[in-house]
Amino acid sequence: MRESVEALLDRVRTDLAGDWLPELYEAKVRSQRTRAYLLDISRAESSPEIQYTLLGIELRIGKRRFACPDLATARYIRVFARLGCGEFAIPYDISKISRIADQLETSWQRTLLVAAELTKRRPPRSAALIRKKLVTKMRDEIAAIGAGEPMPAFDTKTRQREK
């Protein structure tokens, strides 16, 4: 007896446990000071490429190109572009982006491996449908978590000299 698509999606999520990409996004990214990033792409899953140009690093998604300040940021954005996320948060502290990008990319690859393992006895069309629904589920969960404010709030008090 075959499992339903929803049951397979739930199994992927439980197999990944703490490495579920939306969970990592909420725990590692949204729990700190972030800024919202808007990526004007379609909601469909894509295969973005990092390109090295004379002007720096760019992320190419379809026919569009997005300039990135460094490789870590390009890798971070690529994870969300693969899912078709149009709006997400980026850590304001650039020193943390590389480590988080590693964790998110590892989560993405583990998700693909677990999904492939669970669907290896299914027809290719069915496996592709499950992968598409898995990407949609992750994208919707990330959208539900939200991207936050365009710029972080700086509510810290600074000590000023009295006049």
**pLDDT tens-digit series, residues 109-128:** 999 999 999 888 888 898 89
Mean pLDDT (whole number) for 56-78: 93
| pLDDT tens string 43-65 | 877 789 999 999 899 999 988 99
Distance CA 153, CA 74 (A): 24
Q: Which residue has the higher pLDDT, 37 or 162?
A: 37
DSSP sequence for 29-85? ITTS-EEEEE----SS----EEEEETTEEEEEETTEEEEESSHHHHHHHHHHHHHT-
- Percent of the residues in the chain that have a pLDDT greater than 90, as a whole number: 60
What is the pLDDT, as a whole number, of residue 157?
A: 66
Q: How far is CA 85 from CA 17, 122, 124, in A?
A: 22, 28, 25
Q: How confident is the model at residue 29 (pLDDT cuts 50, 70, 90)?
A: very high
pLDDT at 40: 86
- pTM for the whole structure: 0.86
Cβ-Cβ contacts under 8 Å for 7 (sequence gap 6 or more): none
Could you tell me the residue ranges of all domains in the chain?
A: 5-145
Query: How large is the C-alpha radius of gyration of the chain?
Result: 18
Res 69: pLDDT:
92
Question: Three-state SS for 90?
Answer: strand
